[in-house]
């Protein structure tokens, strides 16, 4: 849940790294965060710990993570946990609120269901051109809300959607979904202002084109035959 209190905590709290997610390809640190009035847990990804990627030469992964959060909020998805960019123990990086997931949900079965929360995430991923939506990036919490994490490889100007959520491929979009996309186009000048410091102008233009294509086609995208459609490993 995005709140002013969480935002203030993430922006100003003292970060103390307590562990590292060893399966991550870039430095992904688990940390406590404490301010005068609140405390919590977060994920901290310092830019200094990023490994260069041949197909994402422009900008930092942390910037893409933050851009994904901004788009999630501006378009009303509320999928990306509250995220800020700030200084930390190892320099500037992305700081994201930790989500305690519902351990009773078996993600290996959940990801392939016809669930409206997953459908919303599939549409969000098509918009941001997510190249790495793995099963383990799904974060259903105990309140029933579904979050997603790890959005560092998004917003590429070329179509590179790679996801485990293909169960709606080619299916028609609903009227509310199309209405949301049209609203995104109407507010695109504000989106440009929000993203201009984090993405290239080419990537922002490609974002607009993807949204317009979704409106024109009125359906979920199909896998790209020239690009692997499922990330590996899938979990």
Is 8 part of a structural domain of the chain?
Answer: yes
Domain membership flag for residue 138: yes
232, part of any domain? no
What is the three-class DSSP state of 18? Answer: strand
Is 228 inside any structural domain?
no
With beta carbons less than 8 A apart as the criterion, state whether 134 and 150 touch. Answer: yes
Indicate whether 208 belongs to any domain.
yes
Question: How many domains are contained in the chain?
Answer: 1
What are the tens digits of pLDDT across the range 6-56?
989 999 999 999 998 867 767 899 999 999 888 999 999 999 988 877 777
Show the beta-strand stretches assigned E in the chain. 14-20, 29-34, 39-46, 83-86, 93-97, 138-140, 146-148
Residue 99 pLDDT > 70 = yes
235: in domain: no
pLDDT, tens digit (0-9, with 9 covering 90-100), for 147-190: 999 999 999 999 999 999 999 999 999 999 999 999 999 999 99
The CA distance from 141 to 22, in Å, is 22
Furthest C-alpha separation in the chain = 53
Tell the burial category of 192 from Cβ atoms under 10 Å away from its Cβ (0-12, 13-18, 19+): middle
- 221 sits in which H/E element: none
Q: Is the pLDDT at 143 greater than 90, yes or no?
A: yes
94: containing domain: 4-217
pLDDT of residue 146: 98
31 φ, ψ to 5°? -145, 155
Q: What is the pLDDT of residue 221?
A: 97
Residue 59 has a pLDDT of 74
State the average pLDDT over residues 207-230.
Answer: 95
- Give the integer Cα–Cα distance in Å for 215 and 180: 10
Quote the CA–CA distance of 24 and 133 in Å, as a whole number: 14
Could you tell me the pTM of the whole model?
0.95
Question: What are the φ/ψ torsions at residue 19 (nearest 5 degrees)?
Answer: -175, 175
Mean pLDDT of all residues belonging to the chain = 94
pLDDT band at 1 (very low <50, low <70, confident <90, very high): low
Of 178, 166, 147, the C-alpha closest to 222 is 166
In a domain? residue 118: yes
The arrangement of strands across the sheet holding 93-97 comes to: 14-20, 29-34, 39-46, 93-97, 83-86
Do the domain assignments include residue 28? yes
d(CA 209, CA 141): 33
**pLDDT over 70 for what percent of the chain?**
98
Contact 110, 43 (CB under 8 A): no
């Amino acid at each position: 849940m995005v709140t002013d209190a969480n935002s203030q905590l993430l922006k100003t709290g003292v970060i103390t790294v307590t562990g590292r997610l060893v399966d991550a390809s870039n430095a992904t640190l688990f940390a406590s965060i404490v301010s005068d009035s609140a405390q919590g847990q977060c994920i901290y990804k310092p830019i200094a710990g990023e490994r260069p990627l041949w197909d994402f030469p422009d900008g930092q992964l942390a910037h893409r993570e933050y851009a994904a959060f901004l788009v999630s909020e501006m378009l009303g998805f509320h999928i990306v946990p509250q995220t800020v960019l700030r200084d930390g123990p190892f320099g500037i990086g992305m700081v994201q609120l930790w989500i305690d997931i519902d351990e009773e949900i078996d993600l290996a079965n959940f990801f392939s269901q016809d669930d409206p929360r997953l459908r919303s995430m599939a549409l969000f991923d098509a918009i941001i051109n997510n190249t790495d939506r793995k099963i383990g990036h799904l974060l259903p919490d105990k309140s029933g809300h579904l979050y997603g994490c790890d959005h560092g490889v998004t917003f590429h100007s070329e179509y590179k959607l790679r996801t485990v959520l293909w169960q709606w491929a080619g299916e028609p979009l609903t009227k509310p979904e199309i209405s949301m996309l049209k609203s995104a186009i109407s507010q695109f000048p504000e989106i440009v202002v929000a993203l201009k410091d984090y993405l290239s102008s080419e990537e922002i233009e490609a974002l607009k084109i993807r949204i317009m294509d979704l409106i024109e086609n009125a359906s979920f995208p199909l896998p790209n035959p020239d690009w692997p459609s499922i990330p590996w490993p899938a979990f």
